[in-house]
Amino acid sequence: MMRTRPLKVALLGCGVVGSEVARIMTTHADDLTARIGAPVELAGVAVRRPDRVREGIDPSLVTTDATALVKRGDIDVVVEVIGGIEPARTLITTALEHGASVVSANKALLAQDGAALHAAAEEHGRDLYYEAAVAGAIPLIRPLRESLAGDKINRVMGIVNGTTNFILDKMDSTGAGYQEALDEATALGYAEADPTADVEGFDAAAKAAILAGIAFHTRVRFDDVYREGMTEVTAADFASAKEMGCTIKLLAICERAEDGGSVTARVHPAMIPLSHPLASVRGAYNAVFVESDAAGQLMFYGPGAGGSPTASAVLGDLVAVCRNRLSGATGPGESAYAALPVSPMGDVVTRYHISLDVADKPGVLAQVATVFAEHGVSIDTVRQQGKDGEASLVVVTHRASDAALGGTVEALRKLDTVRGVASIMRVEGE
C-alpha cells in the first residue's frame, strides 16, 4: 500500500549539484513516489546567499540556518552537497543525532572522518550513503559494498578525476604542453580557476581513501594515501610513452599486498599500455577497473562530475535511503573488520620508466647499469640516443619497490656522467 504522508528531505547546499537535485525531485516526483512507495517532499534548503534567485525552488523553503533545519524533528533525510570539512561534519552529525538519515557527496569529509560519521549513523540507527562522493554518476560504491560483498577484491585502479583526464588526453592527442592543455580545460569549464585540488591529486586521493576502505574492509584515511600531482608531466613523457605503446593517466590505485597482509592506496601519473581498458578513457570521463577473485576484471565507466551526473547518484541514494526508512531498516554501514595495515609507498612494487640526461661517451651505460644492479633493480629495456657530447638514456625496469628505485635514483645523481634525471614515471596495468 502506498503511504500518503510524504518523506521530508532537507537539502544543504543549492549550487550546481544541489539545484539539480531539487529540480529532479520536482520534475520526477511521480516516478520517485512510485519507486519509493511514498511521496518525497523538499522541506527546506539551506544556503549561504538567500537572495540569489533559484529557479523552481519555493523561496519560503530557503534558509541560512542550516543547523535549525537539520534539527527539525520531521526531517527524514538530509542531503549534504555543500562540501568541505566544516560546517558539513557538524551538520551531518547533528542530523543523525536528530533522527535523519544522510546522503552526502562530500569526498573530502568522508576520506578524513568517515569512521566517525559511520559510528554516529550506527549509534542512531540511521543510514549514511555517499555514492556521489566518488566518480559522479558511475555506480561504484554500491557495487563494491553490496554486489561484490561476497567476493575478495584485490585491486581497484581508476581515473577518478575528469579535469586531469581531460588535460592528459589533450596532451596525448594534440601534443600540447601541460599549461596549454590546462588553459583549454579552464576555458571549457572543466578546470576551476584554482585547479590545485585536481592537478595535484588531492581530489583523487580522497576518493582513493574511500574506495580502499570499502574494497578491503579497512579504515583508510586521506593521510594514508600517497599523492603525487601531474603538473610535471611533459610532452616528452608522452613521446616516450608512445614509443612503449603506452599513454599517461593520473591513476588512483588501491591494492592488496600479494600476501594479503596489508594494503596500499596511491595517486600518481602512470604509463599504461594502450591495450588496457583505461587507456581508451577520453576527455573528462572517469573509469574504475576492479580486479577480484571470483568476478575477475570489471570496469565501471561514465561521466565523473557535473551537476546532472552527480545529482543522479544523489537521487539513487535518496531512493534507497527512503525505502529503508519506510521498511524500518538500514542499509550497509562501515565494514572495517579486516583492519589491515596500510603500507607506505616505499613498499609498493611496480615497474618504472626513467629518463636520464647523460654524457655521450663510452662506459656510461655500464656505469648506470651497475648502479641499478647494486640496488637490486633489474633492467628490462634501455634506449640511448646521443648527439654533440650529450645523450638521453631511457631505462625501463622490471618490478621493483619504490624504496629501491629511490635509492637507485639518488645514486645515479652522484655519477659524474649523469647530467640529470629528466623524468621518472611508474608503469602500471601490466
- Residue reference for cell 561534519: 89
The pLDDT assigned to 389 comes to 64
Q: Quick one: CA torsion of 314, 317, 321, 322, rounded to 10 degrees?
A: 60
Beta bridge partners of 288: 158, 300
d(CA 214, CA 395): 36
For residue 6, whether the previous peptide bond is cis, meaning omega lies within 30 degrees of 0, is: no
The pLDDT assigned to 34 comes to 96
**Distance between start and end Cα atoms, the chain:** 54
10-residue averages of pLDDT along the chain (430 residues): 83 95 96 96 95 86 97 97 97 98 98 98 98 94 96 98 96 95 93 95 98 98 97 94 96 95 98 97 96 97 90 97 96 96 96 94 92 96 77 94 96 94 92
The pLDDT assigned to 237 comes to 94
| Predicted structure pTM score | 0.95
The pLDDT assigned to 362 comes to 87
The pLDDT assigned to 10 comes to 98
Grid cell locating 315: 537521487
List, by residue number, the catalytic residues. Answer: 207
d(CA 328, CA 127): 11
Grid cell locating 2: 502506498
The pLDDT assigned to 230 comes to 96
d(CA 128, CA 106): 11
The pLDDT assigned to 424 comes to 95
The pairing of strands 246-256 and 153-159 is antiparallel
